[in-house]
Amino acid sequence: MQDLFFRRLPCLLSCLLLTLTLVSPSFADEEGDERAAYIRANYAKFEYQVPMRDGVKLFTSVYVPNDPHGPKNADGKLPILLFRTPYSVRPYGADLYKETLGPNPEFEQEKFIFAFQDVRGRNMSEGEFVNMRPHRAVKKGPEDIDESSDTYDTIEWLLEHVDGNNGRVGQWGISYPGFYSAAGMIDSHPALKAVSPQAPIADWFWDDMHHHGAFILPLAFNFFSTFGQARPEPTSQRAEPFEHGTPDGYQFFLDLGPLSNANERYFKGEIDFWNEIVAHPNYDNFWQSRNLLPHLRNISAAVMVVGGWYDTEDLYGPLNIYRQVEANNPQAYNVLVMGPWSHGGWQRTSGRELGMADFGFDTSDFFQQRLLQFFNHFLKESGPLTLPEAWVFETGANRWRSFDAWPPAAAKEKSLYLHGDGKLALDTPPSAELTASSSYPSDPAKPVPYTMEITNRWAKKYMTEDQRFAAWRPDVLVFRSDILEQDVTLSGAVMAELFVSTTGTDADWIVKLVDEHPGEIPGFEEEAKKNEEAVDLGGYQMLVRGEVMRGRFRNSYETPEPFVSGQVTAVDFELHDILHTFKRGHRIMVQIQSTWFPFVDRNPQKYVPNIFEARPEDFVPATQTVHHSPQHPSRLTVKILP
């Protein structure tokens, strides 16, 4: 258990990494060079323009093993593993090779035919690109195309034109390519046997762009400043990246002022999707048409949905795609994998740690073996498949758990009530607290930062960051349980059910669930004597889950409405699923605030119909109040696993 608390000092670790960089190449670089050399020696690359049903041709590169024979493919026939992306299949040119082909090196050694495709309208493919292209449930003719039909047509062409395939196709992708994987399995091509959407986007109003209506500023601004640049003709050239002029994202976005300044100062109206975001601040048909979830039907392929508990970009997608596939396709093989990872961390990192959190062992390698097992089983009809319905990592206890369903059926619903003395308890507030409430100031000019990291990008480690920097502020409320006498494991969705009031007419409500470690860690002194790099995590307030609700959307995401100043109002919202154990000796903590910057754009706190058009004078300080009397019992509803 002690390795949960003992971590290396960041400064010493940085020095060590710098020393290794100066004296020798990193092991990762050596492994990468070996992998690239193996691919170059063992695969032949071909490039094609693959025609779709409407005549548009999509650029596709295919890597075929020089020797297709192996223990799992003695007949020399291989399955195709398809990867569709808007981010380029570079390098272009039959003599220029990618340095990685599969999710991990063992895929390349096991041998598959790897196919990579620029999606319609991106990079070297023809046609018009549409972000999160809406699905067409009814297709009357060849002009009725979507990502499902493009996937179908691609598979059909590859089966006919790529020699040596065994008639089976798999598909996978992370993030945006995860969306294309999920869309590709709708109305599955008969040859599509296995699909793994990983960190997939399901609905861009909920994934990446907004959280309960609050605009996720650094993602949208940084992403579309580059990705959103026009590409009128096929090209192999990269778009020019945006230069912030400072590494300090907090100050950059604060200096940006109202969101209308983004176009006036930087984009000049030339980023089309940014213009769409501005024009559609509510969950209207523009966003609803980009919701993939209702269309996840007629799926005959086996599905493995993968996500990370600490994915700040796409946590909504994997959880809800798994649920919808399960609900709409009862005959389909459908499993969920959730690990202690940031966005794509299962492929890009060892999965041992994130920020200050240490998960005890390398979780990514363990998962990658199961992913290979999944594709081998369905594409090569090789080997047993021992995956549970839900294979989920339990943070806090640092162990994998398997369940017959997600969320676990055995979990019992309980409520954690906020009390006036800053306590968090299973009991409702006593009658003596008839008018109990807690208030705090909220000033858009001095917003609470979401991270202490100095970055102009979208921080990832904040998902486990020590929240003491926020708890010390007067504009953050803190509620703490008693010291736990036994382990408490929460599973499934966490619901915030607040009764609030504001002196303004609009407000954001951020609720953070925090694991507060003991003030003193038993055995630390002895460990410190043996390990100079040990760090005392006494009092560490580990963020477990945090979420924001833009109050104007409390009753409808389509039709926002202002608050009545001073009126007690119910605001309920979901914080997404967790599987976390608060250990004996720890405390469960809840923090509540109204700014979380620049992760969330600043709410003016004066109601304006479109926040993207707010003026400087619309941003006003307000006093926010959370009520916790018996009549207005603010609480978190959780599910406790026995």
Domain boundaries, the chain: 2-137+146-202+296-403, 210-288, 412-641
* Cβ neighbours, 10 Å, residue 505: 19
pLDDT greater than 60 at residue 10:
no
The residues near 639 (Cβ < 8 Å, ≥ 6 apart) are 407, 408, 411, 412, 413, 414, 490, 491, 492, 493
Residue type, 452: M
Answer whether 634's CB lies under 8 Å from 498's CB: yes
* Cβ neighbours, 10 Å, residue 243: 8
Give the distance between the most distant pair of CA atoms in the chain. Answer: 79
Q: What stretches of 185-232 show up as alpha helix (H) in DSSP?
A: 217-227
Instruction: Look at residue 19 in the predicted model and tell me its pLDDT.
Output: 34
pLDDT tens-digit series, residues 447-499: 999 999 999 998 889 999 999 999 999 999 999 999 999 999 999 999 999 99
Answer whether 529's CB lies under 8 Å from 523's CB: no
> What is the average pLDDT across 222-248?
94
Answer whether 533's CB lies under 8 Å from 504's CB: no
| Closest CA relative to residue 479, chosen from 420, 428, 546, 541 | 420
The residues near 5 (Cβ < 8 Å, ≥ 6 apart) are 517, 521, 524, 536, 537
pLDDT greater than 70 at residue 13:
no
522 vs 5, more confident: 522
Per-residue confidence band for 381, with pLDDT thresholds at 50, 70 and 90 = confident
Instruction: Look at residue 14 in the predicted model and tell me its pLDDT.
Output: 36
CATH top-level class of 2-137+146-202+296-403: alpha beta
Per-residue confidence band for 74, with pLDDT thresholds at 50, 70 and 90 = confident
Answer whether 589's CB lies under 8 Å from 490's CB: no
Point out which residues pair with 100 in neighbouring strands. Answer: none
Percent of the chain at pLDDT above 90? 86
Pairing of strands 302-308, 334-339: parallel
Average pLDDT of every residue of the chain: 92
Instruction: Look at residue 84 in the predicted model and tell me its pLDDT.
Output: 98
Between CA 536 and CA 517 the distance in angstroms is: 11
User: pTM of the predicted model, to two decimals?
Assistant: 0.91
Q: What stretches of 445-523 show up as alpha helix (H) in DSSP?
A: 468-471
Pairing of strands 113-118, 192-198: unpaired
Between CA 443 and CA 605 the distance in angstroms is: 9
Instruction: Look at residue 533 in the predicted model and tell me its pLDDT.
Output: 55
Pairing of strands 399-403, 390-394: antiparallel
pLDDT tens-digit series, residues 396-424: 999 999 999 999 999 999 999 999 889 99
Between CA 22 and CA 489 the distance in angstroms is: 45
Between CA 123 and CA 306 the distance in angstroms is: 27
pLDDT tens-digit series, residues 167-204: 999 999 999 999 999 999 999 999 999 999 999 999 99
Between CA 57 and CA 131 the distance in angstroms is: 18
CATH number of 412-641: 2.60.120.260
The residues near 515 (Cβ < 8 Å, ≥ 6 apart) are 396, 541, 542, 544, 580, 582, 586, 588, 589
Per-residue confidence band for 623, with pLDDT thresholds at 50, 70 and 90 = very high
CATH 1.10.645.10 fits 210-288, yes or no: no
Instruction: Look at residue 521 in the predicted model and tell me its pLDDT.
Output: 65
pLDDT greater than 60 at residue 534:
no
Helix then strand count (H, E) for the chain reads 15, 25
Which of helix, strand or coil describes residue 276? helix
pLDDT greater than 50 at residue 9:
no
Per-residue confidence band for 15, with pLDDT thresholds at 50, 70 and 90 = very low
Instruction: Look at residue 4 in the predicted model and tell me its pLDDT.
Output: 41
Per-residue confidence band for 434, with pLDDT thresholds at 50, 70 and 90 = low
pLDDT greater than 90 at residue 134:
yes
Instruction: Look at residue 115 in the predicted model and tell me its pLDDT.
Output: 98
Between CA 117 and CA 124 the distance in angstroms is: 9
Task: Report which DSSP code applies to 622.
Answer: E
Per-residue confidence band for 75, with pLDDT thresholds at 50, 70 and 90 = confident
